[in-house]
Amino acid sequence: GAVVSQHPSRVICKSGTSVKIECRSLDFQATTMFWYRQFPKQSLMLMATSNEGSKATYEQGVEKDKFLINHASLTLSTLTVTSAHPEDSSFYICSATDGANVLTFGAGSRLTVL
Amino acid sequence: GENVEQHPSTLSVQEGDSAVIKCTYSDSASNYFPWYKQELGKRPQLIIDIRSNVGEKKDQRIAVTLNKTAKHFSLHITETQPEDSAVYFCAASKKNDKIIFGKGTRLHILP
């Protein structure tokens, strides 16, 4: 079945630094990848939709200059949290579709900003 | 845009009994309805899905029903087991569009 790899699984950084999270589809080409954020005991909130070769589409309330998304190839999308602050601490999960609506999730990245 | 409501937020059932989780959606153009199970600290896993041309789908102890007219869909788990304890999310989307999730149901299976 479809496999999505996400790295790093955990990251701790100091306030003001930037963190990059990678999402790779390992055995299929993902024209579209999605980035979600999940706070403890809450649902998955869609942050942005990433299409290969074009600018990401951000959901309302998500700062595009703070959460930089790049989808340079059909198998890789990256999320960079710039100038991270403690309130950005969360579980970030990417997902990718094979074009048939089936959504496969990465393992998630737990970001802690000190 | 699409809005997905999910109830209940928490559900406790005795082991062996059935559990039902209900969701509604707002966009009549949505045609794909997956259900995900998320265990603590892990990624969501697809457990079953249904498309709008089907009213019901079953996979062993899990079944999903869809009422497109009422824009309702439900997850049914029969003969519940301890390993069914998790958070369950319903979701809805249009073909090749973003998937919007409900707020989740925390299911507790009581011994």
Distances (CA, A) of A95 to A61, B44, B45, B63, B95: 20, 10, 11, 24, 16
Q: In whole numbers, what is the pLDDT of chain A averaged over residues?
A: 91
Tens-level pLDDT at each residue, chain B (111 residues): 889 999 999 999 999 999 999 999 999 999 999 999 999 888 889 999 998 888 999 999 999 999 999 999 999 999 999 999 999 999 999 876 788 999 999 999 999
Contacts of B92 in chain A (CB under 8 A): none
Write out pLDDT tens, residues A97-107. Answer: 877 667 889 99
Is residue A3 within 8 Å of A104, Cβ to Cβ? yes
What 3-state DSSP class applies to A86?
Answer: helix
What residues 50-89 of chain A have any CB closer than 8 A to a CB of chain B?
none
Alpha-carbon distance of B51 to A111, in angstroms, equals 35
Alpha-carbon distance of A7 to A72, in angstroms, equals 16
| Per-residue model confidence (pLDDT) at position A64 | 92
Alpha-carbon distance of B38 to B1, in angstroms, equals 25
What 3-state DSSP class applies to B82?
Answer: helix
Q: Contact A105/B101, CB-based, under 8 Å?
A: no
Is residue B89 within 8 Å of B38, Cβ to Cβ? yes
